[in-house]
């Protein structure tokens, strides 16, 4: 059956007729907004921004959710899972990208940006290092208001997406380290942790942030010896309190770090990098001094990396060896556990989208919610992000001043 040609118009205030059994597109009357969930085209991105359960909440509230066929396949959500929860399933990219709000995990490509009809809200990861000038130009030309997942803050000032993905990265990094220390993947054949009568493995963590905390928790739970480096004494004290036991901690000092790395079995880089500068906490010379078949996992690689020998790798080819040290540096580690990551994202974005629908427009939400406003990098096609402005040599505008004009 072909899709009906008439477009669905947003009519806030009308009652909703929600599709329950029909899996193909149909024109429905509803109150709220239309939300498009595209299928990410990247092979190494398996997450989806909204789970079927989150879709059900939004549809029951009177919104229309349009899901591109196969959008949830990477995390084992079928099209039927979505259609049974009220979503409209379509194969047409233009139909999905024509929604009032388009939400996806991976950064928009130029091709995807060209599908947009214009004057819409889009939400995704920004990934400043990889955004192309062509993609940005397309978003600007279409007067898009664009929100970066990783910059949104909640009422307490915490970045919920960054925090939840950091938790996943921290735990997953230790699981990966255990995997690559074994000889199954060419490691030296040792168990991460320790047993009676055998010296425990040593894990060095750079960064006393959320990723560092959860990596430390996982490693300590397996019996490993953990050492944490950070330039903030406050963060080092805090991580000891959160973990609940005494850790070996140190501020960054090249000589201390170099000495520690000589005996380390695993190095996990969890430093949060905020700008475009190249700044390596671990140099290539330091890596040369590490044990043969030691493991390095750089969780900061999507922002340039904090270890000089790290390479930006896709999930399908994340591992390489340099100076006898095994490196794992895939840019989107949560995609190794995409269903867990997708549920975490859904918990964050379902309430945000519902608030957007109830407010009557993005401008009102941005005026009333400074945390959500922090995620904006384009407003009606006007650049508001300083880092992007520096990258593309464009003078960004002050978002507060722009909002005051409306």
Token match 């996990």: residue?
268
pLDDT of residue 307: 93
The pLDDT, as a whole number, for residue 19 is 47
The answer to whether 237 and 264 are in contact (CB under 8 A) is no
Please, what is the average pLDDT of the chain? Answer: 89
Percent of the chain clearing pLDDT 70 (strictly above): 90
Would the pLDDT of 20 be above 60?
no
Half-sphere exposure of 27 (CA within 13 A, CB side): 10
Q: How far is CA 235 from CA 113, 168, 170, 209, in A?
A: 40, 20, 16, 7
Q: Is the pLDDT of residue 26 over 80?
A: no
Q: Can you give the pLDDT at residue 299?
A: 92
Q: Identify the CA nearest to 249 among candidates 265, 260, 262, 264.
A: 260
Residue, of 15 and 134, whose pLDDT is higher: 134
The answer to whether the beta carbons of residues 28 and 51 sit under 8 Å apart is no
Distance CA 359, CA 362 (A): 8
Per-residue model confidence (pLDDT) at position 302: 80
pLDDT score for 278: 56
Start-to-end C-alpha separation, the chain: 44
On the CB side of 322, CA atoms within 13 Å amount to: 17
Strands 225-229 and 295-298 turn out to be: unpaired
For the segment 92-102, the average pLDDT, to the nearest whole number, is 96
* H/E segment holding residue 319: strand 319-322
Quick: pLDDT tens for 189-239.
Answer: 999 988 888 999 999 999 999 999 999 999 999 999 999 999 999 999 999
Residues contacting 405, CB < 8 A, separation 6+: none
- Domains of the chain, by residue range, sit at 34-151+337-404, 160-336
Q: Number of helices (H) and strands (E), helices first, in the chain?
A: 15, 15
Over residues 81-108, mean pLDDT = 96
What pLDDT is stored for residue 42 in this prediction? 73
Fold of 34-151+337-404: Rossmann fold (3.40.50)
In whole angstroms, how large is the CA radius of gyration of the chain? Answer: 23
pLDDT greater at residue 381 or residue 20: 381
pLDDT at 194: 80
Paired residues of 297 in beta bridges: 268, 328
Has residue 253 got a pLDDT over 60? yes
pLDDT class of 130 with cuts at 50, 70, 90: confident
pLDDT tens per residue across span 145-175: 999 999 999 999 999 999 999 999 999 999 9
Q: What is the mean pLDDT of residues 297-311?
A: 89
Distance CA 347, CA 11 (A): 26
Whether 160-336 and 34-151+337-404 are alike in CATH topology: the answer is: yes
Cα dihedral 382, 388, 389, 394, rounded to 10, equals -70
Q: Please, which pLDDT band fits residue 31 given cuts at 50, 70 and 90?
A: low
Question: What sign for the dihedral angle of Cα 327, 331, 337, 340?
Answer: positive
Q: What pTM was computed for the model? A: 0.85
Band the pLDDT of 6: cuts 50, 70, 90.
very low
Q: Which of 55, 11, 37 is nearest to 97 (CA)?
A: 37
pLDDT band at 399 (very low <50, low <70, confident <90, very high): very high
Q: Write the pLDDT tens digit of every residue in 326-366.
A: 999 887 889 999 999 999 999 999 999 999 999 878 999 99
Lowest mean pLDDT segment, chosen from 50-54, 130-134, 276-280, 383-387: 276-280
Asked whether residue 96 carries a pLDDT value surpassing 90, the answer given is yes
What is the DSSP secondary structure assignment for residue 307, as one 8-state letter?
B
CB contact at 8 A, 110 and 132: yes
Per CATH, is 160-336 categorized as 3.40.50.720?
yes
Mean pLDDT on 182-188: 87
Nearest-angstrom CA–CA distance, 181 and 196: 19
d(C-alpha 138, C-alpha 343), whole Å: 30
């Amino acid at each position: 059956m072909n899709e009906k040609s008439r477009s669905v118009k947003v009519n806030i205030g009308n009652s909703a007729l929600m599709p329950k059994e029909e899996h193909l597109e149909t024109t429905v009357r509803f109150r709220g907004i239309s939300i498009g969930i595209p299928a990410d085209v990247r092979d190494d991105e398996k997450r989806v921004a909204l789970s079927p359960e989150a879709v059900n909440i939004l549809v029951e509230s009177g919104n229309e959710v349009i899901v591109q066929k196969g959008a949830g396949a990477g995390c084992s959500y079928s099209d039927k899972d979505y259609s049974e929860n009220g979503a409209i399933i379509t194969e047409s990219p233009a139909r999905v990208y024509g929604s009032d709000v388009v939400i996806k995990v991976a950064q928009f490509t130029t091709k995807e940006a060209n599908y947009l009809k214009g004057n819409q809200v889009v939400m995704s990861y920004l990934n400043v290092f990889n955004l192309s000038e062509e993609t940005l130009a397309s978003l600007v030309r279409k007067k898009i208001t664009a929100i970066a997942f990783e910059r949104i803050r909640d009422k307490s000032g915490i970045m919920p997406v960054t925090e939840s993905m950091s938790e996943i990265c921290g735990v997953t990094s230790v699981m990966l380290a255990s995997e690559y220390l074994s000889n199954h993947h060419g490691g030296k054949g040792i168990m991460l942790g320790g047993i009676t009568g055998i010296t425990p493995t040593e894990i060095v963590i750079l960064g006393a942030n959320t990723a560092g905390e959860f990596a430390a928790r996982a490693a300590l739970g397996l019996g490993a010896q953990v050492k944490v480096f950070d330039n903030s004494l406050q963060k080092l004290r805090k991580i000891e309190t959160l973990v609940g036991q005494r850790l070996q901690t140190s501020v960054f000092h090249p000589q201390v770090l170099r000495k520690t790395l000589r005996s380390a079995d695993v190095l996990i880089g969890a430093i949060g990098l905020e700008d475009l500068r190249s700044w390596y906490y671990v140099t290539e010379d330091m890596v040369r001094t590490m044990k043969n078949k030691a493991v390095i996992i750089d969780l900061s690689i999507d922002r340039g990396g904090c270890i000089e020998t790290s390479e930006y790798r896709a999930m399908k080819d994340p591992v390489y060896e340099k100076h006898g040290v095994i490196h794992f540096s895939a840019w989107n580690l949560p995609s190794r556990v995409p269903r867990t990551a997708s549920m975490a994202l859904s918990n964050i974005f379902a309430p945000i989208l519902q608030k957007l629908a109830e407010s009557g427009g993005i401008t009102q939400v941005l005026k009333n919610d400074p945390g959500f406003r922090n995620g904006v990098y384009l407003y009606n096609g006007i650049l508001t992000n300083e880092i992007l402005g520096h990258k593309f040599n464009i003078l960004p505008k002050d978002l507060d001043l722009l909002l005051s004009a409306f």
